[in-house]
Amino acid sequence: MIRYVSNKLIIRKCKNIIKKNSLTFYKAFSKIKNSKIRNGVYIVYAFCRYADDLIDENKDVKGLLDLKKDLKNHVKGIKINKPIFRALNLIKDRYPKDYDYQPYFDMIEGQFMDVNRFEYENMEQLLKYCYFVASSVGFMLLPILEPENHEKLHNFAKELGYAMQITNILRDVGEDFNKGRIYLPKNLLKKFKVNLEFEISNGPSKEFKLLFDFLEEEARNYYSNSLKEINYFNNEVKLPLYYAAILYRGILDKIKENKYDVFNKRNFLNDSEKTELILRFKKHIK
C-alpha cells in the first residue's frame, strides 16, 4: 500500500535538502515571499542534489540510468511513485505548457560525464562540462523565477553557470584530485607549468597562483556578463539571485585571502562575511 504524502511534507523535505547542502543558496532564496517561486527553487535543487549524490556519494550508475528513464516517463505523463518525482509533479502541475525538461536531461548527462571523464583538454571542453552540470540548473529555474521573460535570459543562465562551476572547480582542486578527478584543463596546466602532485605535497606555488588568477578572471567575467541582465528579473527574485551570485563569487576572494590554499583548506564564507558582502553590494541593485 502506498502511503499518502502531503505536498507540504514534500516541500519541507526539499527545503531541508537545500538548507543542509547549500546554506548560501538557502539564505538567498528563502527570502522570496512568493511561495510558488520559493518552493519551485527548493524542488529543483532537491532533484539536482539527488542526481549528484547518486554519483558523488554512491557511485550508482544504475541509479542514474534509472533516473533518466523515470524522467522520460514523467515527461510523458506516466506516474512515478518515487519521492523526487512526487516533488517534480508539483512543478509540472504549475507549469504545464512551456516548462522545458531538456535541462534536466542535460544535468543528468553532466553526472555521466563525472563517471566517464576525469580530465579536460582545454577551456572549450571544460565549459561544455560546466554547461551540463551548472548552466542546466539555471535553465531549469528560469521559467520558475521569471515566467514572463525567461526566454530572454538564456545568456544569464549559461554564463552564471559557467562562473559558479569554475568557482567550484577552483575551490575543490585538492579534494577533486584526491578523488582522481582533474578539472583544470590540461593545456593550462602545461602552459603554467603546474604539477598537481607537487602542489598537493608542497602547497600553492607561484605557477599555480598564476593559473588560479587566469581562471579566476574567466569566472569573474562570466559573473559580470550574467549580472548585466539581472534587471530582466521581477523584483521578487532580483535581490536573491544577485545575492546568490555575489556570495558565490566571494569564495574566490576567500581563497586568495587564504593564500590560494585549495589543497588543505575548505574555503567558504562565514555568516558575518556573507552579511558584509550583501551590505556592500546592496546599493548596486535598484
Q: Is the pLDDT of residue 34 over 80?
A: yes
- Fold of the domain spanning 117-286: Farnesyl Diphosphate Synthase (1.10.600)
pLDDT level of residue 3 (50, 70, 90 thresholds): very low
Close Cβ partners of 82 (under 8 Å, ≥ 6 residues apart): 70
Residue (of 19, 3, 1) closest to 11 by Cα position: 19
Taking the CA atoms of residue 93, residue 96, residue 100 and residue 104 in that order, the dihedral angle to the nearest 10 degrees is 20
Instruction: Give one DSSP letter per residue of 32-82, joined into a string.
Output: ---HHHHHHHHHHHHHHHHHHHHHHTT--HHHHHHHHHHHHHHHHT----S
The residue ranking higher by pLDDT, 118 or 10, is 10
- Contacts of residues 65-74 at CB distance under 8 Å and 24 or more positions apart, as own/partner, are 67/108, 68/105, 68/108, 71/101, 71/104, 71/105, 71/108, 74/101
> What confidence tens digit (pLDDT) does each residue in 239-259 have?
999 999 999 999 999 999 999
> What confidence tens digit (pLDDT) does each residue in 178-199 have?
988 999 999 999 999 999 999 9
d(CA 220, CA 67): 34
Domain segments of the chain: what residues? 7-97, 117-286
- Burial environment of residue 272 by CB neighbours within 10 A (0 to 12, 13 to 18, 19 or more): exposed
d(CA 233, CA 231): 5
Q: Is the pLDDT of residue 266 over 90?
A: no
What is the average per-residue pLDDT within 134-151? 93
Share of the chain above pLDDT 90, in %: 77
The pTM is what? 0.94
d(CA 178, CA 199): 12
Angle at 285 between CA 157 and CA 247, to 5 degrees: 60
> What confidence tens digit (pLDDT) does each residue in 55-67 have?
988 889 999 999 9
Query: How many residues are given for the chain?
Result: 286
Whole-Å CA distances, 61 to 65, 66, 113, 270 = 6, 9, 11, 35
Mean pLDDT value across the chain = 92
d(CA 128, CA 148): 28
What is the average per-residue pLDDT within 155-163? 98
